[in-house]
Amino acid sequence: MSVIIILLIASIAVASIFLGAFLWSVRKGQFDDEVSPPVRMLFDDPVRPSNDDIV
């Protein structure tokens, strides 16, 4: 029975650590950009000339 209590305390501790990390990332603005990720794949990458093209 004591193993169940230890596992319950450990799982609550891990869950609170993940909740704290999530809240920290929300406060730091990690999830502020809601527009560009869905449309970022639609834009082409700029073409850079290679060293062979420059003469």
What pLDDT does residue 35 have?
72
- The verdict on residue 48 lying in a domain is no
Backbone φ/ψ region at 14: left (φ over 0), alpha (ψ -120 to 50), beta: alpha
What pLDDT does residue 39 have?
77
- The verdict on residue 4 lying in a domain is yes
What pLDDT does residue 26 have?
93
Count of domains in the chain? 1
How far apart, in whole angstroms, are the C-alpha atoms of residue 5 and residue 18? 20
- The verdict on residue 50 lying in a domain is no
Could you write out the DSSP letters of every residue in the chain? Answer: -HHHHHHHHHHHHHHHHHHHHHHHHHHTTTT---SHHHHGGGSPPPP---TTT--
**Could you report the per-residue pLDDT of 1-55, keeping only the tens digit for each?**
899 999 999 999 999 999 999 999 999 988 887 777 677 777 777 777 776 656 5
- The verdict on residue 53 lying in a domain is no
What pLDDT does residue 48 have?
75
Residue 29: which domain range?
1-43
